[in-house]
Amino acid sequence: MKRILSVTAAALVFAGASMAVAELAEDYVFVEPTAQDHPLDEIISGYQFRIESTRETQDDDFENPGMLLLDQAMDTWSEVDGAAGKSCADCHGDDPLDAMKGVGSTYPKFTEEGDHRAFRNIENQINHCRTERMQADAWKYDKNDMLGMTVLVRNADRGEPVDVAVDGDAAPYFEQGKELYYTRMGQLDMSCAHCHEENYGNYIRADHLSQGQVNGFPTYRFKWQGVGSLHRRFSGCIKNIRGIPFKKGEDEFLALELYTSWRGQGLPVETPAVRN
Ligand code: HEC
Ligand code: HEC
């Protein structure tokens, strides 16, 4: 992989930071990539880069603040909403964690019904069911209803390996996502790869840089004092390099979501993960 580190950007961003590779726990877990052309030798969850107390908070369902939204979504699941007089449960069954098994680890992907064929992430699929099938209002991105239901869908696959399809119709999204990943952006003129491929393991200011894996989203962050979507995290990273983020839920971020999911192919779904 070509080094894309720009000297000015690096000087700005990594200023004063120790470039020594910080130690991961001795027994850190990783997944070996199966794809021939995978850019990483080891696929490592962001979990491994966080301090022990953060990991413990994630591991304990009673401590993990993300679980509160999951509980709320479990209730919402059977609440009737919209002009069609339906709840999620009416069509998908009473046990959401059972109904949604095998779903969360495979998104984003193409879904279809009649002529409604589109490339969707979980958020967009939920809104598709709400607007088309329930005649209910769309939920807003990054509001609690949407976050909670997305956490629920992903959590039903917690522990399952991320398994997205990048061939066939999804291939153009994969290519677009890959291109975005390696494109320099913002006033600092940096790409995702600059930090998450070339420099993971290093410190950037006080933050131990990970591979920017997406297997824990939506994620609870102490900084946010709440749960946030993957597209919110993408936006934050782009703003940090003083760029202008794409719109949540739209094509560029869907493409980036597919591509980053593929970079983490095989990692267990951790939703709701806990990060600093
Ligand atoms: C200037 C360095 C930098 C750049 C460039 C950058 N990020 Fe990040 N990113 C961070 C830091 C710091 C964190 C928090 C610590 C960590 O998990 O690496 C982070 C976290 C993340 C996470 C959360 C990981 C987890 O385990 O929860 C994702 C996903 C992510 N970045 C994706 C991206 C994408 C996609 C891009 C390109 C659009 C990008 N980042 C560009 C610095 C960067
Ligand atoms: C009127 C019936 C109906 C209602 C109500 C409904 N859905 Fe759906 N939903 C479907 C159908 C049909 C599909 C496509 C077939 C399938 O995958 O089950 C679907 C697909 C999905 C999928 C993708 C499943 C997959 O395998 O990829 C998710 C996620 C989903 N719905 C979530 C919800 C949620 C959350 C609600 C409530 C907010 C809801 N749905 C309400 C009918 C409905």
- CB 235 near ligand 1, within 6 Å: no
Where residue 206 falls among pLDDT bands split at 50, 70, 90?
confident
d(CA 72, CA 64): 14
Taking each continuous run of H as one helix and of E as one strand, the counts in the chain are 11, 7
What per-residue confidence (pLDDT) applies to 113?
A: 73
For residue 28, give both structure tokens. Answer: 């850190």
What per-residue confidence (pLDDT) applies to 112?
A: 80
Ligand 2 mutation target, pool 92, 127, 135, 157, most atoms within 8 A of CB: 92
Closest atom of ligand 1 to 221 CA is 27
pLDDT over 60 at 186, yes or no: yes
- CB 256 near ligand 1, within 6 Å: yes
**Closest to 259 (Cα-Cα) out of 157, 197, 174, 193:** 174
Average of per-residue pLDDT across 14-35: 72
Q: What is the mean pLDDT of the chain?
A: 92
For residue range 119-153, list pLDDT tens digits in order: 999 999 999 999 999 999 999 999 999 999 999 99
pLDDT over 90 at 6, yes or no: no
Average of per-residue pLDDT across 27-54: 95
Q: Is the peptide bond before 65 cis (omega within 30 degrees of 0)?
A: no
Q: Which H helix or E strand runs over 52?
A: helix 52-59
- Supply the residue whose CA is at minimum distance from atom 24 of ligand 1: 212
- CB 212 near ligand 1, within 6 Å: yes
Average of per-residue pLDDT across 18-31: 73
pLDDT over 70 at 50, yes or no: yes
Average of per-residue pLDDT across 246-261: 98
Average of per-residue pLDDT across 104-108: 98
What per-residue confidence (pLDDT) applies to 25?
A: 80
What per-residue confidence (pLDDT) applies to 243?
A: 98
What per-residue confidence (pLDDT) applies to 5?
A: 44
126 CA → ligand 2 middle, Å: 7
Contacts of 105 (CB under 8 A, 6+ apart): 154, 157, 160, 161, 162, 163, 269
Ligand 1 mutation target, pool 14, 178, 195, 213, most atoms within 8 A of CB: 195
pTM of the model: 0.94
pLDDT above 90 as % of the chain:
86
What per-residue confidence (pLDDT) applies to 1?
A: 39
Where residue 14 falls among pLDDT bands split at 50, 70, 90?
low
For residue 75, give both structure tokens. Answer: 């209730």
What per-residue confidence (pLDDT) applies to 2?
A: 37
pLDDT over 60 at 31, yes or no: yes
Closest atom of ligand 1 to 217 CA is 27
189 CA → ligand 1 middle, Å: 15
Where residue 23 falls among pLDDT bands split at 50, 70, 90?
confident
pLDDT over 90 at 179, yes or no: yes
- Supply the residue whose CA is at minimum distance from atom 17 of ligand 2: 111
Q: What is the DSSP string of 142-191?
A: TSHHHHHHHHHHHHTTTTSBP----SGGGHHHHHHHHHHHTS-BTTTTB-
Where residue 13 falls among pLDDT bands split at 50, 70, 90?
low
Q: Is 91 a catalytic residue?
A: no
Closest atom of ligand 2 to 111 CA is 27
